[in-house]
Structure 1
């Protein structure tokens, strides 16, 4: 996430994302309505913020992860394989949305296994 937001902004994003049960587009639209004078993050930021919190990391800080805020390759593979283990019929798009990992990366990992 190239632009840094405050901890409160990240918390608000995650809260709204939860209200819409993972619908990032709807969450982004509501965020714009509720906070008209704030920066308006792209819907992808909501997905990444959720992914960070789900992995026990703080968004934008790299705390608990790598310094860039991205998770290590082994952790990415583990997250994808765990999603498949939980539900083998899950699509790559759903896995990407749930984990915040790119769809093509998810596809590459599954192709290798």
Structure 2
């Protein structure tokens, strides 16, 4: 269940008011302070506090994930700039990134993975030979 920023702030406040006792914080939140709001579980109180400790007031897990995704995106684009004939499968193995993330990054940056397309070598007499074989 996702709460608004205001609700998370109130959840964290109640948790601190109750000296880190999640069960007491649930009772304080539900009975005394916000009887008309939806009720978060005791686990939400402790996780909200832990996320605040780990990531700070303005940050959350998504900021770190975005930073990692930007690093991966740069690695992917560099790999394909260095070797335009690189396949998505080979890039996934080399960079230890999922193939779907590689394809998504390439698509978002208007690039394409290399696809091997075997072509027969054509020689000057080829069209005549083909016509003779069809008869």
Q: TM-score, normalised by structure 2?
A: 0.43
Q: Which has the larger radius of gyration?
A: 2
Over 3 Å counting, the alpha-carbon distance change for 1:64 and 1:57 in structure 2 is farther
After superposition, the C-alpha distances for 1:36-91 in whole angstroms (9 at most, x for unaligned) are: 11010111100000000001256xx6333448xxxxxxxxxxxxxxxxxxxxxxxx
Q: Is the 2:55–2:61 contact (alpha carbons within 8 Å) kept by the matching residues of 1?
A: no
Where does the alignment leave 5 or more consecutive residues of structure 1 unmatched? 68-113
Q: Which has the higher contact order (CA 8 A, sep 6+)?
A: 1
Show structure 1 runs of 4+ deviating over 4 A. none
Question: Can you give the 5+ residue segments of structure 2 that lack an aligned partner in the other structure?
Answer: 67-135
The question of whether the paired residues in 2 share the 8 Å contact of 1:10 and 1:49 is answered with: yes
Report what 1:103 is aligned to. Answer: none
The equivalent of 2:15 in structure 1 is: 17
* Structure 2: distance between partners of 1:38 and 1:63: 26
Give the number of aligned pairs: 64
The residue number in structure 1 matching 2:37 is 38
